[in-house]
A and B are shown apart, each in its own frame.
Chain A
């Protein structure tokens, strides 16, 4: 059994909470003036996507979910599920949309992602660090500050918005950081 101190729980990790694997969405260390410091976490149940929260003492021992990762391709969204496929075996898996909520807008068909497995079941998705998306809508004219790296808001093929430099036009492709949503560059 792999364990860590609750003080080392980090966002993006997987632990066992009350017997079930959960995905950590927020982990905050808090030190009250008196009493012992605590680690307040928010998590999602990896099977249902249901959110929960819990407070540990920082020194408590917490079981880590022993996970494996496998590269698969995103296919499409089916209701509240996302469908991924193993490009070699053509096996398909369903992942609850709730587990990738914030990053759903970066998924395009055939994007290669790491599927996280726990005891033979898929429980999560790690996206690549950056993705390339096509610009579908852009304001015609942008006024404002042109001195300090001016940016404008454009709409991308998946429906999300991004801040990009003024010279980017509709139909061009841009690279975005999937962790921060930041513009990284233009893709030719």
Chain B
């Protein structure tokens, strides 16, 4: 039976699917109250972002006159938003659809998903941590106005959501829980150690937590920390679910181009779809102010707010059902 049919038979089910509307409304009002502009960037682009491990949906754009161009569905709106900020838009946010191919369609992943990104000017990643804590608490309160934030329940477990949430330096976590120096850990072993040895300890905090300062080899689009062996980047987790990934944004075009070239080489090595580097973005970086930005999976926020165990329970048309996966 399809979701719409199940909802028709049991209207009580509708409740979970309507949480999304509330969450999106709350996100909008949260940022508008803080004078962030809402921006709208393209989903179909000539050059998508270049994360080495992510695969893209590729298509072809054809005009009636026979012009042909490669087209890609975005994996994140980051490149377009940065160009807008270079153009002078200021503090801004976007809620948009993103697409990732060749991923496991699982409790926390759908091929098409909704991403929230926001960028705060003249700010660093610690400022965005505060934004995230406040936003998350507002989202939870908007869906459940009588909630006690010190005892918020998700899937039968209690979490204390009151800010500030623990901020855990990655190097400290590896030393404390895995007995090693994170700088000596090969990138390819990083997540194996993280999930097997570190995450189980962090879950005992019974709070959401930020883990920050990644080894520079995993900097992606973030700038160097004061200790140049690390990058100013954090990820935020709740109950083992990754909710967001934040950078103090790298604004050095030379360094960014170098990283893109390395990412491109890695894509080639992994047999991923190859496309050019976004030279327009490299140019835009020269105009960028000091700023910090984050990408947050909206479907996961909705799942948590609805106390659902998977994002598909809050999607009218989950990928599994839509494509018979």
Contacts and interface: CB of A to CB of B under 8 A. Distances in A.
Given A30-B104, A33-B220, A34-B218, A57 B192 contact: yes
B172 interface: no
A56 B187 contact: no
A37 B245 CA distance: 17
B239 interface: no
A120 interface: no
A3 interface: no
A33 B53 contact: yes
A32 B190 CA distance: 10
B188 interface: yes
B189 A31 contact: no
Interface stretch (B1-9, B84-92, B140-148, B248-256): B1-9
A114 interface: no
A56 B192 CA distance: 6
A145 B191 contact: no
B9 A36 contact: no
Contact of A145 (B5, B106, B195): B5
B245 A33 contact: yes
Contact of A34 (B1, B8, B220): B220
A32 B191 contact: yes
A127 B58 CA distance: 42
Nearest to A145: B8
Interface string B181-193: 0000001111110
19 contacts: A30-B104, A31-B54, A33-B53, A34-B187, A34-B220, A35-B191, A36-B53, A36-B191, A38-B191, A38-B195, A55-B191, A57-B188, A57-B191, A145-B8, A145-B9, A148-B5, A149-B1, A151-B9, A163-B1
Given A33-B54, A34-B214, A55-B196, 18 more contacts: A28-B107, A29-B103, A31-B54, A32-B53, A33-B53, A34-B51, A34-B52, A34-B53, A34-B218, A34-B220, A35-B53, A35-B190, A36-B191, A38-B191, A54-B196, A57-B191, A145-B8, A163-B1
Interface of B: 1, 5, 8-9, 51-54, 103-104, 106-107, 187-192, 195-196, 214, 217-218, 220, 245
